[in-house]
Structure 1
Amino acid sequence: MGANGANGASSETKNIFHMDGYRYILEPYKGMKTRYHCPNGCKGKTYTRYLDKLTGGHLPFEYGKCERLNNCGYHLNPYTDGYAKKVWLKERGNETWKEARLDQKAIGSPHQPKDKPVYIPFDIFRQSLARYDQNTFVHYLNHLFGAATALELIKRFFIGTSRHWSDAGATVFWLIDEQMNVVGGQVILFDENGHTKKTMRPDGSKKRYNSWVHTALKMDYEKQDKPLPDWLQKYISGSPKFPCLFGLPQLKNEPLTKPVAIVEAAKTAIIATEYLPQYTWLAVGSLSYLNEDRLRALEQRNITLFPDKGAFEHWAGKIRELSKIANVNISDLLERKATDQGSDLADYLTQFDVGSFL
């Protein structure tokens, strides 16, 4: 993952997530005509504005940075206050963007509060939404459902592509909370059968090709002997790996009365969406991740749990706790039908043609 941008960089130095292909940048110095008076009233032209590389124009005047970090500390960043995210959503027709307003939070506050959540920059997320011709999981979805349905699922779940593992076509399952903050992401390389790829190490142990977005970024910086950006250091030191359910953005477009189904794996939620569309499918990430905090976004909804084979008793023991939030039931389908311990709903469903199953 190095610091070179996607444009004009060699294949060896391109980042796994195009992390330096930022659309909004501080205006490069080209004489005092490119410096301005600080909104905080500092003497002289100490202020640098943000540029939109796509349009060539400036962002609203409030977005910029004063060079007097110790005496002033003004810095309003379009990535940390939500501007970049909302512009992107507006361009996709998903949200109406209201112009940013100058407020006291930006003035004299050069450092984030310690307890403020750290999110993955929206441009890293946005630029992963490409290269689907290389994405092995998308190939698998094409095989299962056809290209049109695969595209619908890509858009529904914001499936991304990663260059981790030597540009082999890994998949990113982004974790996005109710406010459309990008709070995490899994990176998984799939084989042609839709299973996580595994190889044998020289010592005879198995290597599974699954990781996290922040881990992939960190490894690339270290490989290129470059310092980690401030946001990534903070994210690694304090952010949980899987803080919310996978697939939450779907709820914005689904009525409260539509039942929700929860599985462990993001892959399973995506596949089950086509087989059993009467549910809104979400994933919790791990057997042990099912808890009250992660389900708070589902208050007042009807929920059915679909545990993997062998996990029924563990999840059944959680129902009393989870019922404080919503009406929770559990399916024993895999306990009755699946034969292999640890198999999941996707393993069961993909035995059937999706048309005949429905």
Structure 2
Amino acid sequence: MYAGYVGPYKHFLFMSGFRYILERGSKKHTCPACGRKTFVVYIDTMTNQAVTGDYGRCDREVNCGYFRKPGHVPAFIPSAIKVNPAPAVNIPVEILKQYRTSYSGNSFVQYLAKLFGADIASELVTRYQIGTSNNRWPGAAIFWFINQAGEIRAGQVKLFDHDGHTAKYQDKEGNVKSATTWIHSILQRGFMLKKQPLPTWLESYTQQSGSYISCLFGEQLLKQDKTKPVAIVEAPATAIVASVYMPEFIWLAAGSLSYLNSERTKALHGRKVVLFPDLSTDGKAFIRWQQVAKELSNFMFIQVSDILELHATEDDRQKGCDLRDFLTHLKPAIGKDSEGNLLKVTLQNLTFEIKSLVAVSCPGKYTDGLQLVTFEMVGGGHCEAIVDGSGEFYSGEFSESLKRMWGNDFKIGQAGNADCWLSIKC
């Protein structure tokens, strides 16, 4: 069905260690499930050909979710030959600097200025290294994926409308698509149209094995504070906006629902992390990140926030709202105790009212069966409470390693009528 020569793959045959790999680049085929041109096929590295049949993955992970693997069969490599993976190729910093321009026409930066004012918008541009691309869609934003070592792994290009939503466009076949691409694809297309050879770095970059990204958006911010908790959302735009509303976290983004995995989160080893999955019609996004959180809990303390799932309307789910929509438009429900009253917490003779639940932890090997619950308080600030495996407030012993992980400022207080370990940050 998708037979044909796939030239670039000859440059990294066997480098993945698997016989079948997903096709690289921006080329898409028609999905056998939803009929959209959003399907990425599998390549047989033994033949450099696309695998016949409906083997591949649809990019519409929530609304379609089709994913059929031909089987990860290890490619044959003679035992006498040792193959070392080629080093990752990064985007030169000079390329990033070229796109630090035209912010007055950058639709996303202007959206930030409308939300927060020019001064905060300018600070966000600097903090997250936001760029501007006028090549394919004038006024599009560039979200650079920069790892903790300062290496530029990728640049996501996205055009926004005046309301801060991703703009749409029609391709040559009349299909409506999201105005999103990658900077290397734009550069590659530009040289091809001019019939010019690719620069050495760009040719090597597009031919490298493994992932172009291999890190989280905003990862470079981790080295500024090694103890501050981390929050992860799907979209870079959401991370940037949320960093203003909830500055108690370092805000990062996976870039896509399926991009969150152990490979791209290595820099978070030993950190406190909260995931904020997007909404979906059947909760598929939330369930998927819950499953990923269980895997990641082996090397970090991780929570999955269900604040959107708890307070979303059916219309919110149909629209696929995310935390940015929640923070800028939606109003969370007020948290109440079992008797219908506002839940109150008391610590050192000070009493606070709980506004809403923010996150509940995903227990891992570090937690000894305990979980951490994070609340937003009326009037501002956050409260963290420790609960046991059954969800009851906990006031017993917990290990020194947990104290170091959760913070040494926990003290015995009261949540409702129950004694509990509490930490309150006003």
How high is the TM-score relative to the length of structure 2? 0.54
Range 290-299 or range 264-273, more displaced: 290-299
Provide the C-alpha distance between the structure 2 equivalents of 1:314 and 1:158, rounded to a whole number of angstroms.
29
1:317 equivalent among 291, 295, 298: 291
Provide the C-alpha distance between the structure 2 equivalents of 1:291 and 1:114, rounded to a whole number of angstroms.
20
1:158 equivalent among 120, 125, 129: 129
Percent identical pairs in the alignment equals: 45
Provide the C-alpha distance between the structure 2 equivalents of 1:121 and 1:257, rounded to a whole number of angstroms.
30
State the match for 2:108 in structure 1. Answer: 137
Task: Say if 1:257 and 1:114 are closer, same or farther in 2 by CA, change over 3 A.
Answer: closer
Contact 1:292 1:325 in 2 (8 A): no
Deviation at 1:241, TM superposition (A): 3.0
Task: Say if 1:300 and 1:202 are closer, same or farther in 2 by CA, change over 3 A.
Answer: closer
Q: Secondary structure at the match of 1:334?
A: helix
Provide the C-alpha distance between the structure 1 equivalents of 2:235 and 2:176, rounded to a whole number of angstroms.
20
2:113 counterpart of 1:128: no
2:159 equivalent among 165, 168, 189: 189
Letter in 1 for 2:293: I
Of the two structures, which has the highest relative contact order with CA contacts closer than 8 Å and spacing of 6 or more? 1
Letter in 2 for 1:169: G
Deviation at 1:352, TM superposition (A): 6.2
2:175 counterpart of 1:205: yes
Contact 1:306 1:345 in 2 (8 A): yes
Correspondence list, 1:4-15, <5 A: none
2:219 counterpart of 1:248: yes
Task: Say if 1:234 and 1:203 are closer, same or farther in 2 by CA, change over 3 A.
Answer: closer
Stretches of structure 1 that go unaligned for 5 or more consecutive residues are 1-112
Number of equivalences: 242
2:261 equivalent among 283, 291, 295: 291
2:306 counterpart of 1:345: no
Contact 1:275 1:357 in 2 (8 A): no
- Which structure shows the higher strand fraction? 2
State the match for 1:221 in structure 2. Answer: 191
Provide the C-alpha distance between the structure 2 equivalents of 1:212 and 1:316, rounded to a whole number of angstroms.
28
Deviation at 1:299, TM superposition (A): 1.2
Provide the C-alpha distance between the structure 1 equivalents of 2:130 and 2:106, rounded to a whole number of angstroms.
10
Provide the C-alpha distance between the structure 2 equivalents of 1:258 and 1:153, rounded to a whole number of angstroms.
18
Q: Secondary structure at the match of 1:184?
A: strand
Contact 1:292 1:321 in 2 (8 A): yes
State the match for 1:233 in structure 2. Answer: 203
Deviation at 1:277, TM superposition (A): 0.8
Q: Secondary structure at the match of 1:234?
A: helix
Task: Say if 1:312 and 1:352 are closer, same or farther in 2 by CA, change over 3 A.
Answer: closer
Provide the C-alpha distance between the structure 2 equivalents of 1:257 and 1:244, rounded to a whole number of angstroms.
19
Provide the C-alpha distance between the structure 2 equivalents of 1:343 and 1:332, rounded to a whole number of angstroms.
13
Deviation at 1:333, TM superposition (A): 1.0
State the match for 1:63 in structure 2. Answer: none
2:252 counterpart of 1:278: no
Letter in 2 for 1:321: E
Provide the C-alpha distance between the structure 1 equivalents of 2:293 and 2:192, rounded to a whole number of angstroms.
43
Range 146-155 or range 344-353, more displaced: 344-353
1:335 equivalent among 309, 313, 320: 309
1:194-244 CA distance string (max 9 Å, x none): 111113456542032100011010011111111111211111111523210
Letter in 1 for 2:325: D
Task: Say if 1:287 and 1:357 are closer, same or farther in 2 by CA, change over 3 A.
Answer: farther
State the match for 1:326 in structure 2. Answer: 300
Provide the C-alpha distance between the structure 1 equivalents of 2:379 and 2:277, rounded to a whole number of angstroms.
20
Provide the C-alpha distance between the structure 1 equivalents of 2:108 and 2:190, rounded to a whole number of angstroms.
23
1:174 equivalent among 144, 151, 157: 144
Contact 1:128 1:161 in 2 (8 A): yes
Provide the C-alpha distance between the structure 2 equivalents of 1:147 and 1:198, rounded to a whole number of angstroms.
26
Letter in 1 for 2:96: F
Deviation at 1:297, TM superposition (A): 0.3
- Which structure shows the higher helix fraction? 1
Contact 2:136 2:186 in 1 (8 A): no
Deviation at 1:119, TM superposition (A): 0.9
Task: Say if 1:250 and 1:165 are closer, same or farther in 2 by CA, change over 3 A.
Answer: same
Deviation at 1:278, TM superposition (A): 0.9
Q: Secondary structure at the match of 1:317?
A: helix
Letter in 2 for 1:250: L
Letter in 2 for 1:335: E
State the match for 2:233 in structure 1. Answer: 263
